[in-house]
C-alpha cells in the first residue's frame, strides 16, 4: 500500500524526508525527548499548533456554525460508573499477545498484518518484481518485521494472504490466534512462539480524590459528556429536535504498541459531533438534498468479506436510496465530512469511505463508515461516522433513572387498549413486608400477554402465581384481595422517545499528519528542501515579509506591513536575515507559508510591493491596500491565486538565489 503513495506532484513519496522536515521545523517533537522520550506521546511546536488550530477553526465553521450545533467542553476525568455503564470498561479493548521468553508485547492484528505484508513483499522480490524500498528514519521506532525473507509463495497462498489482509479488522481474538497458528506467525526478532491473544483494555485508569475509593479513567472519547448532558442541551434548545452537540478536546488511549508517528498515539485531540434524531422519521435530514449529488469512494463490507478492496464511486443520494448507507442523516454527514477534508486541502484522490465489518463494529454501533486517507503507512482511519442508535442514552437512563428522552405533544391523541394492574397497597405491604418492593417490581414488569393470561387465572383460581427471583423459592402467590387486572383504554397526548445518535468523530492529529503528506513535494532543482502546499486558510503562517536587504530605509515598511496584516487578522513573520531572497522563500516554503511580500527600493519610492505565491513562485506588484486586500481574500477563500494574477500586474525580479 505504501508504494502507491505519491507526493502532491505525483512523484514517489519519501516519508523520512517529510518527517525529518516536520521535526526539524518543529511541527512536532517527541515528548520528554531529553529523558529518552515516551512512546506514543508528542509535543507540537509553533507551526504544529498553528496548523492544528486552523484545522479546528475551519471545523467549527464548517460544522458547528453551519449546522447551529451546541458546543460543550466536558471534563476529561470520568468516573468508573459512567464508563462501566457505557460498556467501555468491559469492551474497549484490543488484542495483544506476549512473548513468554522476552516479555515483549505485540498487538495481534498489527503483527499478523505486518508479517503477511512482509511475506508478500518477499514473494514479489523472489519473482523478480520491483519492490519500492524506503530509507528508515533512525529516530523512529521501527516496525516489528525488520528482515524480510525473499521466498516465493504459491499463487494460492499469496491470494489467501491478500484476502486475510483485506478483512484484517474483522477478526476477533480467537480468530487472530488461529491465524497465527495457521501461518506460523512468531516474534520476528527471535522466532519465539507467542502466547494466544488476550484482551487489553485501552483506558488509562486513575483515582479521583485522595482516598482512592473513587476509581476513574481518562476519557477515551468526548462523547459520554455530551450524552450525560443531553436533557440540559434539549432544554437549552427549547425542546426542538433534531439537534446536534459538538465537543473538541483531548482523549486518551493506552495503545499496546504505539508507532507510525502521529497516527497512533496515547493522547490526542478529537472533535466529535452527536446528532440526535427521531428514529421514527426514518432518520431523515432536512438538508440532505444539498449533498445528494456528492460522489464518494465507497468500500462496503461485502466487498471486504470477499477478500477485495475495490471501491465504487457512488453519489451519496444513490447510496442511501439503495440502502448501502443506512439513512439520510448518516449519508449527509459522510458527504459533509468529505467536503470538510477537501476544504482543508486533503487530496480528493486519497480519500475513501470504508464500511465497518461485523466484528470490528464498536459495541454501541448499528452501522459505521470510516473516512480513510491514503498515507505512506497505507489507508488510515481519520474520521469515524457511526450510527450509535439509542444505545448510550438508553443505558445511562436505565442506570440512573434520569429522563434522557424527548417528550413532545402528539398531533392526534393516541388511544391504547392495554391490561392494567391495580394493587391494594394497604394490604399488599403487610402481606409481603420486606419483599414488597421486589414483588411489586416483578408485577410491573409483566408483559401484556402474560397479564391477559393471569387475568383469567385470577378469575378462575382467585389468585395468580408469578416468578420473583430471590423471594422464597422464586414463586410468589398473590390473592385476588390484593390485585385487580382489567383491560382499559389509555389516551396518550404526549409522545416519549429516546433519540438515536449519528456520531461523526474526527481524529485531528491523524488529519493533521495526512494533510502534511498530501501537501508535500519538492521542486525540480531544490530537492533538498521540501514544500508544504497548505491552502492559505489552514497554513500556519499566511505571509512572509522579506526586506530585500538590511537597509535602514526598509525598516519602517516592515513595521507598517506587519501592523496592517495584524489589523486584518492575518499571521505573518519577518525574515530579514542576510540570506538571498530565494533561500529565504525556500526555507519558508518548508513551513507551508503560501504568500510572501518583498520590500525593495521601488517600495521606498512609490509604496508598492511584490506579492509572491508559494507553489507557482509567480509574483504580482501593487499598492499596500491592494496587496492586503488580495491576501485577505486568499486567506478567507473568496479568491484564488488565478483571480489575483489576472487582477494585479505581474512582476518578474527577485526570484534569484
Going along the chain from its start, the domains and CATH numbers come out as: 15-74+219-393+500-508 (3.30.930.10), 93-201 (3.30.40.230), 410-494 (3.30.720.200), 541-647 (3.40.50.800)
Q: What is the DSSP string of 215-268?
A: EEEE-S-SHHHHHHTHHHHHHHTTT-SSEEEEEEEEEE---SS--TGGGS-SEE
Q: In whole angstroms, give the CA distance from residue 627 to residue 608.
A: 9
Beta-carbon count within 10 A of 243 CB = 21
Nearest Cα neighbor of 19 from 259, 258, 261, 257 is 261
Mean pLDDT of the chain: 91
Phi, psi angles (nearest 5°) of residue 651 = -130, 140
pLDDT of residue 486: 94
Check residue 85 and give its pLDDT. 94
pLDDT score for 568: 95
pLDDT tens, position by position, 445-495: 999 999 999 999 999 999 999 999 988 889 999 999 999 999 999 998 999
Those residues whose C-beta lies under 8 Å from the C-beta of residue 534, and which sit 6 or more positions away, are 51, 345, 515, 519, 540, 592, 594
pTM, 2 dp: 0.81
pLDDT of residue 337: 98
pLDDT at 93 over 90: no
The span from the CA of 248 to the CA of 222, in Å, is 7
Q: Looking at residues 335-350, what average pLDDT do you find?
A: 98
pLDDT of residue 200: 83
C-alpha cell at 62: 464548517
Residue 364 has pLDDT above 70, yes or no: no
pLDDT tens figures, 588-642: 999 999 999 999 999 999 999 999 999 999 999 999 999 999 999 999 999 999 9
**What pLDDT is attached to residue 238?**
95
Work out the average pLDDT over 306-311. 90
The confidence band for 75, taking pLDDT boundaries of 50, 70 and 90, is: very high
Task: Give the tens place of pLDDT for each residue, 496-507.
Answer: 999 999 999 999
Per-residue pLDDT tens over the stretch 149-207 = 778 888 888 888 988 888 887 788 888 999 999 999 999 888 889 999 988 888 999 99
Distance from the Cα of residue 32 to its chain's centroid: 26
**640, 351, 346, 354: which is closest to 517 by C-alpha?**
346
- From its phi and psi, is residue 549 left (phi > 0), alpha (psi between -120 and 50) or beta? beta
Share above pLDDT 90 across residues of the chain, in percent, rounded to a whole number: 72
pLDDT at 3: 46
Average of per-residue pLDDT across 48-61: 98
pLDDT at position 121 is 87
**The pLDDT of residue 144:** 55
Residue 657: pLDDT band by 50, 70, 90 thresholds? very low
What are residue 355's DSSP bridge partners?
A: 369
**Stretch 372-376: mean pLDDT:** 96
Q: 502-547 pLDDT, tens per residue?
A: 999 999 999 999 999 999 999 987 777 899 999 999 999 999 999 9
Q: What is the mean pLDDT of residues 404-431?
A: 92
Least-confidence region, from 60-64, 116-120, 151-155, 441-445: 151-155
State yes or no: pLDDT of 42 exceeds 80: yes
- pLDDT score of 35: 96
Amino acid at each position: 500500500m505504501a508504494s502507491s503513495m505519491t507526493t502532491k506532484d505525483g512523484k514517489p513519496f519519501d516519508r523520512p524526508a517529510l518527517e525529518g522536515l516536520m521535526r526539524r521545523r518543529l511541527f512536532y517533537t517527541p515528548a520528554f525527548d531529553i529523558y529518552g522520550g515516551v512512546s506514543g506521546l508528542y509535543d507540537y511546536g509553533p507551526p504544529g499548533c498553528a496548523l492544528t488550530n486552523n484545522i479546528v477553526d475551519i471545523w467549527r465553521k464548517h460544522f458547528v456554525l453551519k449546522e447551529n450545533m451546541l458546543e460543550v467542553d466536558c471534563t476529561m476525568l470520568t468516573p468508573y460508573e459512567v464508563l462501566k455503564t457505557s460498556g467501555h470498561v468491559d469492551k474497549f479493548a484490543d488484542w495483544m499477545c506476549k512473548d513468554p521468553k522476552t516479555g515483549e508485547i505485540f498487538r495481534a492484528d498489527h503483527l499478523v498484518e505486518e508479517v503477511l505484508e512482509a511475506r508478500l513483499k518477499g514473494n514479489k522480490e523472489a519473482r523478480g518484481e520491483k519492490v519500492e524500498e524506503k530509507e528508515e528514519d533512525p529516530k523512529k521506532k521501527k516496525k516489528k518485521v525488520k528482515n524480510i525473507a525473499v521466498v516465493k509463495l504459491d499463487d494460492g497462498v499469496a491470494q489467501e494472504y491478500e484476502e486475510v489482509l483485506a478483512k484484517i479488522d474483522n477478526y476477533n481474538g480467537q480468530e487472530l490466534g488461529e491465524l497465527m497458528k495457521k501461518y506460523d506467525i512468531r516474534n520476528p526478532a527471535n522466532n519465539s512462539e507467542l502466547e494466544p491473544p488476550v484482551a487489553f483494555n485501552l483506558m488509562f485508569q486513575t483515582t479521583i480524590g485522595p482516598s482512592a475509593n473513587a476509581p476513574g479513567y481518562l476519557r477515551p472519547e468526548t462523547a459520554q459528556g455530551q450524552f450525560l448532558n443531553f436533557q440540559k442541551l434539549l432544554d437549552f434548545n427549547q425542546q426542538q429536535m433534531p439537534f446536534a452537540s459538538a465537543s473538541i478536546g483531548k482523549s486518551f488511549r493506552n495503545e499496546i504498541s504505539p508507532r507510525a508517528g502521529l497516527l497512533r498515539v496515547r493522547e490526542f485531540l478529537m472533535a466529535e459531533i452527536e446528532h440526535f434524531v427521531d428514529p421514527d422519521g426514518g432518520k431523515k435530514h432536512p438538508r440532505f438534498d444539498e449533498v445528494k449529488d456528492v460522489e464518494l469512494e465507497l468500500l462496503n463490507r461485502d466487498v471486504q468479506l470477499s477478500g477485495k478492496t475495490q471501491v465504487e464511486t457512488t453519489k451519496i443520494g444513490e447510496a442511501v436510496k439503495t440502502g448501502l448507507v443506512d439513512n439520510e442523516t448518516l449519508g449527509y454527514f459522510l458527504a459533509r465530512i468529505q467536503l470538510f477534508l477537501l476544504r482543508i486541502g486533503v487530496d480528493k484522490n486519497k480519500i475513501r469511505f470504508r464500511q465497518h465489518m461485523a466484528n470490528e463494529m464498536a459495541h454501541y454501533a448499528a452501522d459505521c463508515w470510516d473516512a480513510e486517507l491514503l498515507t505512506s503507512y497505507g489507508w488510515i482511519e481519520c474520521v469515524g461516522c457511526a450510527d450509535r442508535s439509542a444505545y448510550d442514552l438508553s443505558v445511562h437512563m436505565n442506570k440512573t433513572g434520569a429522563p434522557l428522552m424527548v417528550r413532545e405533544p402528539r398531533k392526534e391523541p393516541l388511544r391504547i387498549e392495554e391490561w392494567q394492574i391495580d394493587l391494594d397497597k394497604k394490604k399488599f405491604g403487610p402481606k409481603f413486608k420486606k419483599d414488597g418492593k421486589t414483588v411489586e417490581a416483578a408485577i410491573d414488569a409483566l408483559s401484556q400477554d402474560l397479564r391477559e393470561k393471569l387475568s383469567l387465572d385470577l378469575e378462575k383460581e382467585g389468585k395468580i402465581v408469578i416468578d420473583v427471583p430471590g423471594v422464597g423459592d422464586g414463586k410468589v402467590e398473590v390473592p385476588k384481595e390484593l390485585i385487580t387486572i382489567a383491560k382499559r383504554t389509555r389516551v396518550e397526548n404526549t409522545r416519549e422517545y429516546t433519540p438515536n445518535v449519528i456520531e461523526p468523530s474526527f481524529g485531528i492529529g491523524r488529519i493533521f499528519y495526512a494533510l502534511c503528506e498530501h501537501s508535500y513535494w519538492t521542486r525540480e532543482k531544490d530537492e533538498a528542501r521540501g514544500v508544504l502546499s497548505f491552502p492559505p486558510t489552514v497554513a500556519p503562517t499566511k505571509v512572509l515579509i522579506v526586506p530585500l536587504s538590511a537597509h535602514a530605509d526598509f525598516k519602517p515598511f516592515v513595521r507598517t506591513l506587519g501592523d496592517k496584516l495584524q489589523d486584518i487578522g492575518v499571521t505573518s513573520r519577518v525574515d530579514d536575515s542576510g540570506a538571498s531572497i530565494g533561500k529565504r522563500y525556500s526555507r519558508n516554503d518548508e513551513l507551508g507559508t503560501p504568500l510572501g511580500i518583498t520590500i525593495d527600493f521601488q517600495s521606498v519610492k512609490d509604496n508598492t510591493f511584490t506579492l509572491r505565491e508559494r507553489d507557482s513562485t509567480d509574483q504580482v506588484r501593487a499598492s499596500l491596500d491592494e496587496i492586503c486586500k488580495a491576501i485577505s481574500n486568499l486567506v478567507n477563500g473568496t479568491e484564488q491565486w488565478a483571480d489575483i494574477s489576472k487582477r494585479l500586474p505581474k512582476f518578474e525580479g527577485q526570484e534569484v538565489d
